[in-house]
Amino acid sequence: MPMNGIKMLTRQRARAFAMSRRFALAAALSAVALFPAHAETGTVRFKFFKAGWFIGAQSGTGILSFRDKIYPFRIGGISGGLTFGGSATDLVGTARNMRQASDIEGVYTAVGAGIAVGAGGRAIQMRNGKGVVLTLEGKQLGVAFDFDLSGMNVSIQKQ
């Protein structure tokens, strides 16, 4: 085969390869548009009270906004470590990796530290056994110091 024939064949293969790559990219983008990711994100608000002397307890309520619906839930839990005093906490944030609203239910654990004398800020990230990650921040009011391991149970209220 003459040299020009080899160059022409190489150019044709290069164009065909480039076209097949563009087609594959277009197909992949179409698939992403047609089949959205399974895991979604909701927004949450937590309001709870925490009190303790070495061992702490917390109780409260919250709401989950997910797929244009509101789901009220209850919060309860205990903590162990250095916990002294009491505080009221109001947190807002996101609940990631959710497939359905009930995925928010479960036990969340976190190692945390905080201090509140009057008003203070608070930020926390927790995860449950279903892989839902809560990322929260907000305000804490009270007289409290904590450096502890916390467990928080979240359960959706039946409507």
Please report the pLDDT score of residue 18 as a whole number. Answer: 54
Which range (43-47, 49-53, 71-75, 107-111) has the least confidence? 107-111
Whether 135 and 93 have beta carbons less than 8 Å apart is answered as yes
Whether 91 and 122 have beta carbons less than 8 Å apart is answered as yes
- The angle formed by the CA atoms of residues 50, 52 and 57, to the nearest 5 degrees, is 50
Whether 92 and 138 have beta carbons less than 8 Å apart is answered as yes
pLDDT digits (tens, 9 = 90+) for 99-112: 999 999 999 987 66
Predicted structure pTM score: 0.69
pLDDT digits (tens, 9 = 90+) for 62-88: 999 999 999 999 999 888 777 788 889
Among 135, 131, 123, which residue's Cα sits nearest to residue 104? 131
Contacts of 44 (CB under 8 A, 6+ apart): 62, 63, 64, 65, 92, 93, 94, 95, 104, 134, 136
DSSP state of 158: P
pLDDT digits (tens, 9 = 90+) for 145-157: 777 677 889 999 9
Measured between alpha carbons, how far is 62 from 92 in angstroms, rounded to an integer?
A: 9
Judged by phi (left if over 0) then psi (alpha if -120 to 50, else beta), residue 67 lies in left
Query: In the numeric block, which tokens belong to residue 38?
Result: 């399974």
Q: Give percent of the chain above pLDDT 90.
A: 41
